[in-house]
Structure formats: structure tokens, C-alpha cells
């Protein structure tokens, strides 16, 4: 009986030890699997990042860079000439704007000063006031006052004659802006026609109509037209502003001249 109990105890010990060994082995295997899965989980973002990295969007180009690239694609010959038209036209327009703004005069104040000078010091004092005032209106007043001793009719003729001279000075340079407005799109169209001819020559040499070849040639040809039209639009805006400015000054000159004649008639009658 004791031997049987001893055998049963030994069998139980061996069985427990084997079970414990299997449990530890299974736990170790489970730990290895978990660690492997963990490594895969941590490796996945790296792999995704490596896959996604090349798909990142390229930085957007600025307006200056885009304009520069389109200008180069259009060709230096005609695009350079169109750009020269823009630069020269803007230079003349800016000079005219400065000149016309300096030519503007407060005619009401000038008439009041001339009237006060005539009452206080006569024609000489009125001439001095006009000489010290800037603008075409004051110059016309000076010419009229110089003829004051010859009568009102001579004053009117002098004002009309010298008014035409001053109006010509105001419109000086406008013809060049008008020329560049017409010339820029014409040069653009010429560049387009020449570019189309070159594109068809390339198609004839290749012996086949390649979409890439045709598209590239047409793009280069049309860029010159776009450049010419843009230059014409910009210069046309400046030209219209200058025309309206000249008209405003001319109207002011005419109104002031009539007021001056009335003032001189009133002054002669008061003597």
C-alpha cells in the first residue's frame, strides 16, 4: 500500500512538472508572438510613411515665377519686343500723369487773386500773380493780360491762340502710348502666326501628327498673343485716364478764359 502511494505521488510530481513545463513553453511562445506583432505594429507606420512620402505635393509656385516661366516659354524674340512696348508705354504714361497733375490749377482761387491784383495794382500786379502760378491756365491768363491794352477782342484772340498751344503741350506723348497699344497685340499675333508655321514645319519633318508636338508648338505661339493683349489692356487703361485728365484741364481752361474776359471787361468799365 505504501509502495502504491509512493508511485502515485511520483507520477503526480512528474505529471505536474511536465504540465508546468508545457505552460511555461506556451507562455514563452505567446510572448514571442506578442512581441513580433508589436514590432510589426510599430513597423507599419514607418512603412506607410515610406510609401506616402513620395506622394507629397510639390510647393506651389508664386505669381512671379509663373509669369517668368510663361515669358520664357513664349520665346525671347517677340515676348522681348512686347515687354519693351510695355516698359516704354508705362514710362511715358507715368511722365504724363505727373505732368498733368502738376498742370492742374485751382482756377477759382486764381481768378480771385487776379481780380484783387487788378483792383489793387492794375495789369502789372495781375501779370505778376499769373507768373507766380503754375499751370497752363495761369500761362493763358498771362498772355491775355499782355494784350489788355489792345482791347478785349485782342485778349480773346490771344487766349484762343495760346489755349491751342497749351492743349498741344498737354497731349504731348499721348500718340506714343496709342502706338504701343496698337503695336503690342499686332506683334503678339505675328508671333502666333510664326509659331504656328514652325509647329507645322515640325509636324512635316516628323512625318506624323504627335499631340505633344502640336500642343507644345501651339502653346508657344499663343503665349505671344496673350502677352500682347495684356500689354494693350494695361496701356489702354492708362491712356483713357490721361485722356480724361486732359479733357478736364481743357474744360477748366475754357471756363477760366471766359471768366477772365468777363473780369477784364468789368475792370475796364469800372475805370
- Report the pLDDT averaged over residues 208-222: 72
Range with lowest mean pLDDT among 39-48, 65-74, 149-158, 176-185: 39-48
In tens, the pLDDT along 21-57 reads: 443 454 445 444 444 444 443 444 444 444 444 444 5
pLDDT at 111 (0 to 100): 87
Tell me: pLDDT of 19 over 70: no
pLDDT value at residue 270: 60
pLDDT, mean of residues 213-239: 85
Q: Report which of 20, 89, 58 is spatially closest to residue 232, judged by C-alpha positions.
A: 89
pLDDT, residue 182, reads 93
- Ramachandran quadrant class, 106 (left: phi over 0; alpha: psi -120 to 50; beta: rest): beta
More confident residue, 229 or 214: 229
- Asked if residue 90 has pLDDT above 90, the reply is yes
Owner of C-alpha cell 477782342? 153
pLDDT band for position 146 (50/70/90)? Answer: confident
CA dihedral (70, 73, 76, 80) in degrees, to 10, reads -20
The C-alpha cell at 230 is 495684356
Cell of 109: 482761387
Among 27-31, 98-102, 140-144, 173-177, the least confident range: 27-31
Closest CA to 166 of 141, 136, 143: 136
Q: Supply the pLDDT for residue 263.
A: 83
> Rounded to 5, what percent of the chain is helix, strand, coil?
90, 0, 10
The residue-averaged pLDDT of 93-99 equals 93
For the cut 80, the answer to whether the pLDDT of residue 73 exceeds it is no
Residue 130, all three cell numbers: 499769373
CB of 83 closer than 8 Å to CB of 71: yes
- Nearest of 177, 155, 175, 161 to residue 238 by alpha carbon: 177
- Helices (H) and strands (E) counted in the chain, each on its own, are 8, 0
Axis-axis angle for helices 174-206, 211-269 (nearest 10) = 170
CB 134 within 8 A of CB 110: no
CA 124 vs. chain centroid, Å, equals 51
> Cα angle vertex 186, ends 185, 188, to 5°?
60
CB 168 within 8 A of CB 250: no
Amino acid at each position: 500500500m505504501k509502495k502504491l502511494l509512493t508511485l502515485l505521488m511520483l507520477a503526480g510530481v512528474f505529471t505536474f512538472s511536465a504540465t508546468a513545463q508545457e505552460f511555461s513553453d506556451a507562455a514563452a511562445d505567446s510572448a514571442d508572438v506578442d512581441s513580433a506583432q508589436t514590432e510589426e505594429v510599430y513597423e507599419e507606420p514607418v512603412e506607410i510613411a515610406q510609401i506616402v512620402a513620395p506622394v507629397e505635393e510639390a510647393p506651389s509656385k508664386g505669381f512671379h515665377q509663373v509669369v517668368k516661366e510663361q515669358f520664357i516659354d513664349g520665346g525671347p524674340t517677340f515676348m522681348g519686343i512686347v515687354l519693351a512696348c510695355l516698359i516704354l508705354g508705362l514710362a511715358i504714361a507715368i511722365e504724363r500723369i505727373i505732368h498733368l497733375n502738376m498742370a492742374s490749377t485751382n482756377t477759382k482761387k486764381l481768378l480771385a487773386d487776379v481780380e484783387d491784383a487788378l483792383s489793387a495794382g492794375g495789369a502789372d500786379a495781375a501779370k505778376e500773380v499769373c507768373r507766380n502760378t503754375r499751370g497752363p491756365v495761369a500761362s493763358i491768363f498771362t498772355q491775355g493780360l499782355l494784350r489788355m491794352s489792345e482791347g478785349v477782342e485782342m485778349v480773346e484772340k490771344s487766349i484762343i491762340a495760346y489755349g491751342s498751344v497749351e492743349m498741344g503741350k498737354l497731349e504731348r506723348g499721348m500718340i506714343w502710348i496709342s502706338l504701343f497699344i496698337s503695336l503690342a497685340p499686332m506683334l503678339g499675333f505675328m508671333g502666333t502666326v510664326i509659331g504656328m508655321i514652325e509647329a507645322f514645319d515640325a509636324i512635316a519633318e516628323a512625318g506624323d501628327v504627335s499631340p505633344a508636338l502640336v500642343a507644345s508648338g501651339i502653346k508657344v505661339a499663343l503665349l505671344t498673343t496673350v502677352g500682347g493683349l495684356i500689354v494693350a489692356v494695361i496701356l489702354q487703361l492708362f491712356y483713357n485716364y490721361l485722356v480724361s485728365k486732359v479733357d478736364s484741364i481743357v474744360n477748366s481752361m475754357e471756363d477760366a478764359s471766359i471768366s477772365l474776359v468777363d473780369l477784364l471787361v468789368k475792370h475796364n468799365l469800372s475805370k
